[in-house]
Structure 1
Amino acid sequence: MNLTDKVVVVTGGSAGLGEQICYEAAKQGAIVVTCARRINLIGQVKEKCQALSGKEAYAFQLDISDPDNVESVLGKISDEVGPIDILVNNAGFGLFEDFVDFDLDVAKKMFDVNVLGMMYFTQKVAISMVEKQSGHIFNVASMAGKMATPKSTVYSATKFAVLGFSNALRLELRPANVYVTTINPGPIATEFFDKADPSGSYLDNLGSIVLDPQKLAKVIVNKMGKPTREINRPLIMSGASRFYDLFPHLGDFLASGLFNRK
């Protein structure tokens, strides 16, 4: 797809992968709309997108777990920007902790953000995409939704839900010429792990397997407008997830050892 003047909306666009997706889309001439809770950061992303694209960009404060706020933001996008051509559902958070010690209030919040909020936002956008018979929805899931590891019980559960939702939605929207792509990254060098792993040791333990958010963002943006089922990175973890499905008992051994660095 030629992204010139296409409206690209990115949730969780204040930092990390979401921020880099905004920049890569802007480089290709898109009209970028970045949404996140941290208004000061999305303002900076907006300004950089404008410099990269030479076009107007937009920033809206969004708490995706609040349906009223979602309605308000989507109304502003409709009034001030126009129909959404591409939606990237990137908002989400994780916490790596043994389930027996997990605060279930945090678990509920994680489902509200990672799953229910994403679904609510997506439904509103999908309705308009179906009406105009075009669009592309990207849902950021995770390798944790394909191959769970210790201390990722709740986070993995939310990402398994994102995968199941996306796989069904892809089939439902296909007749309307609306594409649905899931993005399944392994660990990315972003501030996501400031909350997920306060010890700071997880990324250090993984070494070269950690993904560069800018490189992954380029891959994602280059798939916009193309009927792509999944984007899986890094390739070694993608291969391991397939192995996990074929040989589940051995997969459990690998998931609890080789890919468990929490």
Structure 2
Amino acid sequence: MTQLNKAVVLITGAAGGFGQELTRQLLEAGSRLILTDLDATVLREQIAVIQCQITTGEILACLGIDLSTHEGCEMLYRQVKALNIPVDILINNAGIALFGRMDEIPNEKWERLIQINLLTPMRLSALFATDMIDRQQGHIVNISSVAGWWASPGLTAYSASKFGLRGFSEGFFHEVKDYNVKVTAVYPFFSRTPILQCERFGSLGKNSHDLAEYVATDPAKVMRATIRGIIHNKLHVFPDATAKNAHLIKRYFPQILNSINNELVRRLKGGQGK
């Protein structure tokens, strides 16, 4: 089992909806946290509110770094190393979304999404795993998505990044397990976080605003299940009922998801044809 009390945990995307819940719940578990997001000022303001409510655990650092580039990932690694505190758990939580038909999204938008959602976790995992392997101890957690199993219309680039993160997690798990380094991949359904208000483009984007809101999950419950999966060293974690069911349907009854996707396209086009 992975111990959380006194564990040093690095969380990317800490200012987001899942990031704040991870911060809150890991502080309650007694963890010592290194937090990073794009805007350090916003991050510190949010953490100040959380620390007024939770007195356990410890915040070791709040770092404002753009992780969308190779240089940003290297900078985070150097700044964390400068703290001279080994990281026990790396949680690759930072991510963005876009909604729209692939050819109607500007290339630079979806390319940045791939950088943040897939290449950044790969880069950081490679950097921090080296130290974990040397210490024969560590845990890497990648927050993927149910979109890493089921590619729905309007989320093609997002799904590609999350499918890739699932494949990376599975392969890396086998590469590092003999060194006592654990890997966990998490596949939540859409949750009530700011990512639901992502940028939208073109013919599919204009009618998409209300599709996920009414079925979105509670991020606190999702992250509570995620942390249980981390503690028990699970490779694959489906932290809510919708994600579990979608995964099972994809595996055993894929034609049902095809029908759902067809209906989604019809609704996104305003009910006009397929």
User: TM-score, normalized by length of structure 1?
Assistant: 0.90
How far, CA to CA, are the matches of 1:178 and 1:110 in structure 2? 27
Alignment pair present for 1:152 and 2:155: yes
Q: Equivalent residue of 1:223, what SS?
A: helix
Correspondence for 1:82: 85
- Taking the TM superposition and a 5 Å limit, the aligned residue runs for 1:105-124 are 105-124=108-127
Structure 1 equivalent of residue 99 of structure 2: 96
Tell me the CA shift for residue 146 of structure 1: 0.4
SS of residue paired to 1:158: helix
Q: Measure, in 2, the Cα distance between the counterparts of 1:31 and 1:201.
A: 43
Pair 1:162–1:54, CA change in 2 (3 A): closer
My pick for the range that moved more, 186-195 or 205-214, is 205-214
Note the 1:168-207 alignment, pairs <5 A: 168-197=171-200, 204-206=210-212
Correspondent of 1:229 among 226, 235, 239: 235
Instruction: Report deviation, 1:220.
Output: 1.9
Whole-angstrom distance in 1 between the partners of 2:183 and 2:164: 15
- The letter for the 1-side match of 2:261 is A
Name the CA distance, whole Å, in 2 between partners of 1:201 and 1:184.
25
Provide, for residues 217-238 of structure 1, a one-character-per-residue CA deviation record: whole Å limited to 9, x for no partner: 2222233342202121432342
Partner of 1:10: 11
Q: Which moved more, 1:29-38 or 1:203-212?
A: 203-212
Distance 1:235 1:255, change over 3 A: farther
CA contact (8 A) 1:193 1:200 kept: no
- Asked whether 1:136 is paired with 2:139, we answer yes
Partner SS state of residue 42, structure 1: helix
Aligned amino acid, residue 37 of structure 2:
A
- Indicate which of 165, 168, 174 corresponds to 2:168: 165
What is the CA-CA distance between 1:207 and the residue it aligns to?
Answer: 5.7
* Residues 189-222 of structure 1, C-alpha deviations (whole Å, 9 max, x = no match): 0111222459797574346531111111222223
Whether 1:28 aligns to 2:34 is no
Q: What's the counterpart of residue 64 of structure 1? A: 67
Query: How far off its partner does 1:98 sit?
Result: 1.0
Between the aligned partners of 1:6 and 1:171, the Cα distance in structure 2 is 23
Alpha-carbon distance in 2 for matches of 1:90, 1:226: 19
Paired position in structure 2 for 1:250: 256
Identity fraction in percent: 24
Counterpart CA distance in 2 for 1:170 and 1:68 is 25
Change (3 A) 1:212 1:83: same
TM-score for both structures, normalised by structure 2: 0.86
Q: Which of 206, 213, 216 is 1:210 aligned to?
A: 216
**Unpaired segments ≥5 residues, structure 1:** none
CA contact (8 A) 2:8 2:86 kept: yes
- Write the deviation string for residues 125-172 of structure 1: whole angstroms up to 9, x where unpaired: 111111111111110111111011111111111111001111101111
Cα distance change of structure 1 residues 250 and 220 upon mapping to structure 2, 3 Å threshold = closer
SS at match of 2:187: strand
Instruction: Give secondary structure in 1 for the equivalent of 2:186.
Output: strand
SS at match of 2:98: coil
Query: Could you say what the CA RMSD is over the residues aligned between the two structures, in angstroms?
Result: 2.4
Measured in 2, the distance between the counterparts of 1:221 and 1:24 equals 8
- Counterpart of 2:94 in structure 1: which amino acid? A
Structure 2 segments unaligned to the other structure (5+ residues): 269-274
1:100 Cα offset (Å): 2.6
